[in-house]
Structure 1
């Protein structure tokens, strides 16, 4: 119950207007990374409560994350923030990272570990590709 309360309290951050200083490209890119971090923690914390076969659990969990993300983005558009499909993508990537990490900690065989580490690596590569504009922006502003 405390875990749910913690995530509900943190989710309020998705509805607070973004300060002007963070609305520029670099600030926005840094804030967008928060979606990945939040949903990584969400995936790590809540995936364990799913039931059924592993394939079913993963599919159901990602559908639930998509529904939550779609709801959050829709509500954001009503409170003065913009609806962004990119945020939904970042939420899904974060959830996949979190559940990948969770699965790596709950393996029962070397073969499972190999498959789960491969999945984790693929998710991390996808996140790096999605965050490349942030890296580019940080390097551009640093020089």
Structure 2
């Protein structure tokens, strides 16, 4: 390798370092401002979180700690520092009202390890040992695994949006990944979908369940049908709530969403609601029917605990 080639490689290396440093300066504020909020969907959050890998990969490349350290000292010192920085970031985020995610600390380390392991591969005239090759392979596998997790979230969300007209797939065995509240899969009263959801209601001021992850685009449909079963011999008043993303990012007041009072009589109950009523429910605006965010079923001030079954939930 001649002097001119060495000089060109050095110049290119310095240019890439400056670009990496510029990237870290641009990305750094995004740890504390912008990005997904508590109303954002799973795909948005998962893709955004991959930025931790990118940021710490750029930061590691910009600093290039291998200029001062090597061997175990390089890996131990860099890992300890990145771990400490990641913990501080998560504590600061929680203090600013942002949602902390300790998986992000792991992603920070993955981004750093990727550069520590792979930089010798791209260093001219470097003869890689078997250990270095193995480190590079493991680092790449960790990154691919994180990408795969995001891909899995995207696939699941695609499946949820494609299950229309069903708003919930009753064959699922893990309802609490999509719902909040005290509910479990049940074989009781399961003639419609092969399985129902048993909902346990308490005497709290508000007691019920909320479907937080559901198909968001309700355009092209006219009705919402909710099928419930009341195993008791007395009526049970319920409230059905539907809201869009704009409601949650706004004032979140009662008049800015759809609320319907349902009287659940003993036995099987099928409630049919016009989507036009849902669309026009918010005061001073129309609901965004292609970005529905949440559906809830709840009671108020029950004198005693009750149990009901959700048999079907779909658009027509």
Which residue number corresponds to residue 35 of structure 1?
Answer: 52
* Aligned with residue 120 of structure 1, among 130, 136, 142: 136
Q: 1:28 and 1:98, CA in 2 relative to 1: closer, same or farther beyond 3 A? A: same
Equivalenced residue count is 142
| Alpha-carbon distance in 1 for matches of 2:23, 2:84 | 20
Aligned-partner Cα distance in 2 for 1:22–1:90: 23
So what's the TM-score if we normalise by structure 1? 0.81
Distance 1:111 1:19 in 2: 41
Q: Is the 8 A contact 1:36 1:90 kept in 2?
A: yes
1:62-98 Cα shifts (integer Å, max 9, x gaps)? 1111111111111111111122110000000011112
Root mean square deviation, CA, Å: 2.7
**Contact 2:20 2:61 survives alignment (8 Å):** no
In the alignment, structure 1 residue 45 sits paired with structure 2 residue 62: yes
**Partner Cα separation in structure 2 for residue 22 and residue 61 of structure 1:** 35
Residues in 2 aligned to 1:122 and 1:18: alpha-carbon distance in whole angstroms:
30
Match for residue 103 of structure 2 among 38, 62, 86: 86
> The residue matched to 1:110 in structure 2 has which SS?
coil
Unaligned runs of 5+ in 2: 1-17, 160-316
Structure-2-length-normalised TM-score: 0.40
Equivalent residue in structure 1 for 2:152, among 127, 136, 141? 136
**Aligned partner (choices 62, 71, 89) of residue 79 of structure 2:** 62
Return 44-53 or 28-37, whichever deviates more. 44-53
What SS does structure 2 have at the residue aligned with 1:28? helix
| Larger deviation, residues 4-13 vs 21-30 | 4-13
The answer to which structure has the higher helix fraction is 1
Greater strand fraction, Structure 1 or Structure 2 = 2
Aligned-partner Cα distance in 2 for 1:22–1:128: 27
CA contact (8 A) 1:43 1:97 kept: no
Partners of 1:32 and 1:67 in 2: how far apart? 18
SS at 1:93's partner residue?
Answer: helix
**How far has the Cα of 1:10 moved from its partner?**
2.4
Question: Residues 19, 55 of structure 1: CA spacing in aligned structure 2 closer, same or farther, 3 A cutoff?
Answer: closer
Deviation of 1:131 after TM superposition, in Å, equals 3.4
Structure 1: gaps spanning 5 or more residues: none
State the alpha-carbon separation in 2 of the partners of residues 3 and 129 from structure 1.
24
